Every structure is written in structure tokens, then in C-alpha cells.
Homo-oligomer: A and B are copies of this chain.
Amino acid sequence: MTAPAEAARRPLPTGFVDDLRLLFGDRLQLGDAVRLQHGSSETHFSPVLPDAVVFAHSTEEVVALVKLCTAAKVPIIPYGAGTSIEGNTTPVGGGVTVDLSEMNAIVEVNVEDLDCTVQAGVRREQLNEYLRDCGLFFPIDPGANATIGGMASTRASGTNAVRYGTMRDAILRLRVVTPDGRDIWTSRRARKSAAGYDLTRLMIGSEGTLGIITEVTLRLHGIPEEILSAVCSFETLAGAVETVVQAIQLGVPLARVEILDDVQMKAVNRWAKLDYPELTTLFFEFHGSKRYVQEQVEAVGELARSNGGGAFRWSNLPEERSKLWRARHEAYYAAVGLRAGAVGWPTDVCVPISRLAQCINETKKDLEDASIPAPILGHVGDGNFHVIFVIDPDRPEEAAEAERLNGRLIERALAMDGTCTGEHGIGLGKQDWLLAELGQSVSVMRCIKQALDPLNLFNPGKIFPFEGPVI
């Protein structure tokens, strides 16, 4: 992926940096290292440097920044942990990146209401550590130790979504700074509401193009009495997927169910010195009372057996569970580790679960002749899976090959009534695919973008092509 033409950048107006310094003091950073960090993603996108980086400490500061940027017509890009798999935070039009990671206060926890309010920069693991003593947890786990604000912006989900939903479901309300400098709450703290348009859900997944999220109220869950993990290998991919489909139809509330293909299992064994069978493998987690978990395990065990599954390795002890899940948690690094000096080029589709086995099988067939390794893993309960192309960054033909294989994968998913992204977002990487997927709906999205951000200053060039700010 080459960076968009730098020609589109305008130099910052005279005096603008001085104004920024007045606001942020030494929390304004202009050095190359910090700008490079904030212009990069964890995947294959080429870095583009923002003109400046500021570290915000309050919503009021974000409001002041937005007013300053609006007056000077300078783009503004919110930034959390910077995972940014689709280049979601790459500042293609330059401007100011506002890093929210220092806004990391847990504002309040309402144990009786099973909710909490946090600043956008709070990280997932930090939150769960804090909540442990209350007997509560926040279930969404996209893998990376992302910020809550970043997860909201990309509508993240991950391994627990099959039971607990995605960020769309996990969020009760947002505090957002809009492009016209308003500081709004999108909703009250009640569990449900029919009061006007659902601005909460409009902002979730809008990747910073409609507003900057500064606080989030989250739904929480009681830590289950029993958590049991299990791993099971299957003779065929279809058998693994069918086991999950049948379990869901039976109403078994699987807390996690992840699929890793044979290529990914090989990578994992090599990376973490494990000895799993190098076959399609399901990783399960069951939550509930001891009795109910036992009932779930029995039901799923029976389904697995009848679908060609092998023996279950299982554990309910925290340390053993971590060991069991290690193969899944390190899958991305294991994949990238297949080649020295390689980078990961991960992609993400989601199809109706009835089409999942077919979609993965056809994809594996398409990958057979590829010159680059391409393990597959996914959140099988949602119909969502990833291919990680492992490319040599110095060989542009490999990126081109990944791009072609990715295109065929997405066409396949769309033909099955699926989506070009289950959880990574559109960012820079999937704008054409968004059009292919939703057609005229994209015009409605652009109409909303135009209405709320007429100057096109909020993370311009994401979701929709970069056209430069309106000047």
C-alpha cells in the first residue's frame, strides 16, 4: 500500500503551532520519532507523518483543539493505541494527531447497574484489572490491548463477541466532541432508550470521521463462577464449523469459540514450542455456574465427537487456561514469525455462518498456489475470519499478491451475503470494497459526513477517499 500523494498536504498556517503550544505546552510534540510513531500502523500501511502530535488530558482540551483546528482548517486525527489494522489513524492529509492515551481515568463504576464510565484512553486490560475486585469484567477482547476509545471507533469485537456482542452492544453511551466543537453525551445511562436518533451507534465504528470520543459508558458482566477452556482438533474444517453451528442452534451460550486452520496451528507450534495436532482446531471457553458449564461441555463434547472431533484438552485453572489459550493469543505473532523480517498483512471478512465452511474452504484452495504464507483464524461463532498474509516488506510484488488474494477473498464473502470487514473497519484499505458491498448506502453515509463535518477535517480520507479538507 503506497501512501496517498503528499501533494494534498497544506503547510500549517502561520501562528498555528504557537496556538497549539499555548494549549498543550510540552504535551505538543513535533519531533520525527513521535510523529512517525503516530503516523504508523501495526500492519502493512506505509507511514504518513502528522504535522504535530498533542496529548490531550481532558474533553475541554479536545474542544479547544477542535475549535483551533476548525478556524485554521487543519485536519485532526484521534489516536489511541495505534493498532490501526486498516490504516485507520494514518494522517493522509497531515494535520494534528490527538493522542488520547493519557486520558486513562476510570471515572466511575456502578456495581449494581453493571456499568462503568471510562476516559477514551483506558486500555482493556487496565479496566479488567481494576474491575476484578468488584467481581465484574468487561468482555470485549480484540486481542490487542487496545484503548476503549479506539475499540469504539472501529466497532471492535474479538473472541468473546459470540456470547457478549461487539462494541456496538457493549456501549451504553459516549461523550463526543463534534466537528463544530460541541461536547455532547449521546445518551443517558439507562439500559435502553427510544429517545431520538441512536447517535451512540452512529459514532461507534465511524473511525473518528464524525466526532472524537472522549468518554465511554460500558456495560459490564459478573465474573462467572466457573470458566472452563477446551481445545479440540478436527479431521475436517466442515466438522469443526458444523459443531459450532449445532451448538449455537441448541442455545449453548459459548463464551468463546475460535478456529485456527492447519497452517496457523503449524505456525503456533513452531512459535510457542507446543505440540498441538496440526489440524483445524477449535478453542472454546465456557462461562457459568459449575453445573451449567458441565452441561455445556457435555453438549458440545457430544457434538464434536459426532463431527469428527478428537479428544478435548480442557482446564478450569487460570494458569492452565492461559497456557491452553496461548496458541490462540499469540497466533498473529506466530504467523508473522513464519518468515524472518516479514510483516503481517491481515484481512478480515464475515459471512453468514451457514456459508463459513464453504468460504474458508474455497479460500484455502485459492491460497494453495500463493507464494506467501497465509494462515487462517477466526471467530467462528460469528462467521468472522482472518487471513494473515505474511509478506517481505522489501518485495512489493508480495504486497501486490496479498492485495489480489484479499480481493478474491472479499468478492467471495460478498457473494455469500457477507461483509468486507467484521471488525477491523474500512480505514484506508477497504474503501473500494465498502462501495462494492453497500452501493448507494455509501452515499447516505457521505451525506451524513458532509452534514456533520462540512470542512472535512475529522480524520479525512478514512472510510471515504481523501479529497482534502474543504478550503
A161 engages B422 (CB within 8 Å) = no
Chain A 181-197, CB-CB to B under 8 Å as 1, else 0, gives 01111111111111111
Interface residue A107 (Cβ < 8 Å from any Cβ of B): no
For the complex, give the distance between the alpha carbons of A384 and B115 in Å. 16
Instruction: Point out which of A190, A248, A420, A433 has the most chain B C-beta atoms below 10 A from its C-beta.
Output: A190
Among A183, A188, A295, A434, max chain B CB count under 10 A is at A188
User: What is the interface size of chain A, counting residues whose CB is below 8 A from a CB of the partner?
Assistant: 95
Say yes or no: B196 contacts A426, CB within 8 Å.
Answer: yes
- At the interface, yes or no: A178 with Cβ under 8 Å from chain B? yes
**Is the Cβ of A184 less than 8 Å from the Cβ of B444?**
yes
- Minimum distance in angstroms from A312 CB to a CB of chain B: 20
Chain A 324-356 per-residue mask, 1 if CB under 8 angstroms from chain B, else 0? 000000000000000000000000101111100
Q: Are B193 and A248 in contact (CB-based, < 8 A)? A: no
- Asked if A471 is at the interface of the complex by the 8 Å CB criterion, the answer is no
Stretch at the interface among A90-98, A278-286, A395-403, A435-443: A435-443
Residue from the set A193, A205, A248, A438 with the largest chain B CB neighbour count within 10 Å = A193
**Closest chain B residue to A424, Cβ basis:** B194
Q: In the complex the two chains form, what is the Cα distance from A123 to B440 in whole Å?
A: 29
Among B113, B195, B210, B222, the residue within 8 A (CB) of A251 is B222
A438 contacts across to B, CB distance below 8 A? 184-188, 195-196
Instruction: Decide yes or no whether A36 CB sits under 8 A from chain B.
Output: no
Copies in the complex: 2
Query: With A110-B352, A295-B291 in contact, do A192 and B448 touch (Cβ < 8 Å)?
Result: no
| A191 touching B155, Cβ below 8 Å | no
Could you tell me if A224 and B251 are in contact, using CB atoms closer than 8 angstroms? yes
- Could you tell me if A445 and B384 are in contact, using CB atoms closer than 8 angstroms? no
On whether A352 and B113 interact (CB within 8 A), knowing A197-B448, A202-B202, the answer reads yes
> Of all chain B residues, which has the CB nearest A464?
B196
Per-position binary interface string of chain A over residues 449-467, scored 1 when its CB falls under 8 Å from any chain B CB and 0 otherwise = 1111000000000010000
B206 engages A423 (CB within 8 Å): no
CA of A434 to CA of B186 in the docked complex: distance in angstroms?
12
Given A188-B414, A352-B191, A196-B452 contact (CB < 8 Å)? no
Q: Does A114 contact B (CB under 8 A)?
A: yes
A438 to B449 CA separation, bound complex (whole angstroms)? 21
- A383 at the binding interface (Cβ < 8 Å): yes
Residue numbers of A with Cβ under 8 A of B are 110-115, 154-157, 161, 165-166, 168-169, 178, 182-199, 201-202, 204-206, 210, 221-222, 224-225, 245, 248-251, 253, 288-289, 291-292, 295, 348, 350-354, 382-384, 413-414, 417-426, 430, 433-434, 437-445, 447-452, 463
Q: Told that A155-B198, A190-B383, A196-B463 touch, could you supply 7 new A-B pairs with CB distance under 8 A?
A: A112-B249, A161-B192, A166-B192, A190-B350, A195-B421, A197-B206, A451-B451
